[in-house]
Amino acid sequence: MSIHPSVPDIVTSVANSIYRRYRQFVERDDVKQECYTWYYSRAEHFNALLSVENSVERVINEKRMVWQMRRHCERYARKEKAAKSGYKPGDEPFYDTVTIAQLLPYVIASIINDTVLEAVV
């Protein structure tokens, strides 16, 4: 399977952005390798998308590929960070917008009233 000519630039860009954020926990070459591993598992599909004649559609496909590759490599970097920091990746909290919107009035009120918010378990 051959590599599309734009893939090395995409891989370098994605790997550099992930490495800058997680440099204490991952090596740049490991992130690049993870990018290529992810790409090769879908190479036929992405080669077809990147070879589209319409330049606008090709740019959209390229951005889609970058986004998906970045998500994959960030997951890899978060797993490495968790392993080196001594916790599990599932321990990382993620909140949706609705939850934050519901909590925000209480946080603002506690700041204004100089009170302490307590966790209810």
Domain span at residue 20 reads 7-90
For every one of its 121 residues, what pLDDT tens digit does the chain have, with 9 covering 90 and above? 689 999 999 999 999 999 999 999 999 999 999 999 999 999 999 999 999 999 999 999 999 999 999 999 999 999 999 999 998 887 777 778 888 888 888 888 888 888 877 766 5
69 occurs within a structural domain: yes
Token pair in block for residue 69:
């590759």
95 occurs within a structural domain: no
67 occurs within a structural domain: yes
Among 7, 75, 85, 99, CA closest to 47: 7
114 occurs within a structural domain: no
Structurally, the chain folds into a number of domains equal to 1
The pTM (predicted TM-score) of the whole model is 0.74
Cα–Cα distance measured from residue 62 to residue 53, given in angstroms and rounded to the nearest whole number = 13
